[in-house]
Amino acid sequence: MEFKDIATVSGKPGLYKILKPSRSGVILESLDDKKGKLVVGAAQRVSLLSEISIYTLTEEGATPLKEVLVKIEEEFGGDTGLEGADKDEYQAFMKHILPEFDADRVYASDVKKLISWYHIIRRECPEVLEASSEKNASDKDKPEEDKPDENKS
Three-state secondary structure call for residue 90: helix
Segment 121-143 shows an average pLDDT of: 62
Residue type, 18: I
Terminal CA-CA length for the chain:
30
Report the alpha-carbon distance of residue 109 to residue 44 in Å, rounded.
21
As a whole-number percent, the residues of the chain with pLDDT over 70 amount to: 85
| Per-residue pLDDT tens digits for 22-61 | 888 899 999 887 888 888 888 888 999 999 999 999 888 9
pLDDT at position 4: 87
- Mean per-residue pLDDT of the chain: 81
- What confidence tier does 77 reach under pLDDT thresholds 50, 70, 90? confident
As a whole-number percent, the residues of the chain with pLDDT over 90 amount to: 20
Task: Determine the longest span between alpha carbons in the chain, in angstroms.
Answer: 49
Give all domains of the chain, ordered by start, each with its CATH number: 3-50 (2.30.30.730), 52-137 (1.10.10.1650)
Q: Torsion angle, CA of 123/128/130/135, rounded to 10 degrees?
A: -170
